[in-house]
Structure 1
């Protein structure tokens, strides 16, 4: 027997009731008292059900085109990355626009935008796109496409910025430090910051408009989202070290902030978009397009072809191989810059070393030392182009060459002692294959 409540009075569906105004007996399905005309509890139920249906019909019948657009773009880039050698490969992630602090610090600010549309592996892609399919249509239909686009992109950028700011080896300890901060500058990609932004929007929506929402919306959003939020942060804590929790927190807080100052499109409202929101939508999309244009101009991964994907899969190249390639390129660039005075070669070597993945602290130290030597070689090359060779420059070149040979010996020692852990060895021609 279904129990219903209306105007703080309880009645049982299918049973007669008593009029609360005149005390007359009312039939089970009557909507008003036959004696005094007062509305019965079932009248309130019918009115409430009609209002709920009108709300759902008006809101959920709206289109959600940009949810599909964003999902398609994410899948598209995952396919391109796979064809370039794999979306879990370090050099491919770096080339397509992953957030890497060292590259951002070199001026590649567009890496605050591009990671929102990139994913590391099919499972990562599936989970985030499933979340987008669940949450995206609600936010886009409740707020309109223009606001949804701004929510997604701004929350995603906020998540990437939070990830950038929390690469702090000195703070990555303890239960809170290990949750928020990262000890290494590994590539960070994914739409989860933007997804947490949508969760933040729906959380505020359910609380901010709780007085005018049907019961079903009140249960689904607002306080009803707390279990989902807590479970996701608990999963992030359990997976700290490979889940970028700072991006989740940054996106969530950005979504909350945006929703606090934004009205939703009420059922009776026409889906008209103000000039400011339309302009913000266009600017957001233009920022994404321009950011990927910058990635294209700096692109250094193999082109997306089936042959490259097959070769990468068969060779099993990954982080170790990318590190080896970067060190080899850095050494070659040093020798060219030092011998020929080619500052441009030094730039290419520095960029290759910036793309080198983290293996361990000693490997990182050796890479950074080689970068410092390359910077000195570049400075000498630039000086040689504007000044005649002087005794001072000759002494600098001599010191630099000695420092480079010292670095080579230390690198060789590291390979002999620790290279077996990564399958690295020194060969006669100086390369270090896996």
Structure 2
């Protein structure tokens, strides 16, 4: 589920348009705010950062806009990298509309909790709440919807989430409430979001038409009895283990970045 096999950006966009557009928004806003340092970029940042005082004064959009703003290039890149790694499978499974609800809804839920608990002077930005929201959905699959996730992916999620949650409390400058309630909201919303969905398949029929496969069908790609069998590590994971480890480290580094101003 988390090993990308797309051959080009165009193919990735055709398969996962929502993930691609969100990443594009992240890059575009960073480009005009931090890289070009344009006046309009400063305006967007000043009116987009999540500041509890101004939310209380009626600027409710600040519950949404911080999701797409970042504290520098590395923060933006690793947030976007995390979305590219963990978002595609969920976008295919949930569909475009429900994936947007999952990504934005979990982050906004976390921001609402931050507003009611933190002080009026509290300010924050970043998409970590949304990323943790995706983690929450995956963890729900691991425990309650094993038909939707293979065992290897379950193990990867388990390791990443355990370390990410631990780092939430070990690193300074972290929005602890944003991480925790992003995760809890994803876990809580998962039963509704996952109702009626099918398991992820890299060969689903929404792939570009020029690439067809003889065994392509809409059926589940997993053996229902796989949890009762002893399985060796899949060859694709074994061969890419180094890159998987690098990816996990990169994601953990991202989750350790400051998202409190």
Confirm whether residue 226 of structure 1 aligns to residue 158 of structure 2.
Answer: yes
Residues 99 and 112, structure 1, Cα contact 8 Å, conserved in 2:
yes
Provide the aligned C-alpha RMSD in A: 3.1
* Residue 405 of structure 1: aligned partner: none
Aligned partners of 1:224, 1:140: CA distance in 2, in Å? Answer: 19
Confirm whether residue 73 of structure 1 aligns to residue 5 of structure 2.
Answer: no
Confirm whether residue 158 of structure 1 aligns to residue 94 of structure 2.
Answer: no
Q: Which runs of 5+ in 1 are unaligned?
A: 1-59, 169-183, 273-357, 359-434
Residues 93 and 187, structure 1, Cα contact 8 Å, conserved in 2:
no
TM-aligned CA distance change 1:63 to 1:92, over 3 Å: same
* Residue 17 of structure 1: aligned partner: none
Please, what TM-score do these two structures have when normalized by structure 1?
A: 0.40
Residues 151 and 198, structure 1, Cα contact 8 Å, conserved in 2:
yes
Confirm whether residue 239 of structure 1 aligns to residue 180 of structure 2.
Answer: no
Task: Give matches, 1:168-247, under 5 Å.
Answer: 168=119, 185-210=121-146, 212=147, 217-221=150-154, 225-240=157-172, 242-247=173-178
Number of residues of Structure 1 aligned to a counterpart in Structure 2: 191
TM-aligned CA distance change 1:92 to 1:239, over 3 Å: farther
Residues 158 and 250, structure 1, Cα contact 8 Å, conserved in 2:
yes
Of the two structures, which has the highest relative contact order with CA contacts closer than 8 Å and spacing of 6 or more? 2
Confirm whether residue 116 of structure 1 aligns to residue 47 of structure 2.
Answer: no
TM-aligned CA distance change 1:85 to 1:245, over 3 Å: farther
Cα deviation, residue 85, structure 1 = 5.9
TM-aligned CA distance change 1:267 to 1:189, over 3 Å: closer
Task: Give matches, 1:383-422, under 5 Å.
Answer: none
1:235-276 per-residue CA deviation (whole Å, 9 max, x = no partner) reads 221223x1111111111111111112232532599989xxxx
1:148 pairs with 99, 102, 110, which one? 99
Cα deviation, residue 106, structure 1 = 1.2
Aligned partners of 2:196, 2:102: CA distance in 1, in Å? Answer: 12
Please, what TM-score do these two structures have when normalized by structure 2?
A: 0.64
* Residue 33 of structure 1: aligned partner: none
Residues 73 and 117, structure 1, Cα contact 8 Å, conserved in 2:
yes
* Residue 250 of structure 1: aligned partner: 181
TM-aligned CA distance change 1:253 to 1:247, over 3 Å: same
In our comparison, the structure showing a higher alpha carbon Rg is 1
| SS of the residue 1:159 aligns to | helix
TM-aligned CA distance change 1:268 to 1:127, over 3 Å: closer
Cα deviation, residue 94, structure 1 = 5.1
1:337-363 per-residue CA deviation (whole Å, 9 max, x = no partner) reads xxxxxxxxxxxxxxxxxxxxx9xxxxx
| SS of the residue 2:15 aligns to | coil
TM-aligned CA distance change 1:93 to 1:121, over 3 Å: farther
Confirm whether residue 139 of structure 1 aligns to residue 90 of structure 2.
Answer: yes
* Residue 35 of structure 1: aligned partner: none
TM-aligned CA distance change 1:206 to 1:107, over 3 Å: same
Cα deviation, residue 219, structure 1 = 2.8
| SS of the residue 1:261 aligns to | helix
Residues 133 and 186, structure 2, Cα contact 8 Å, conserved in 1:
yes
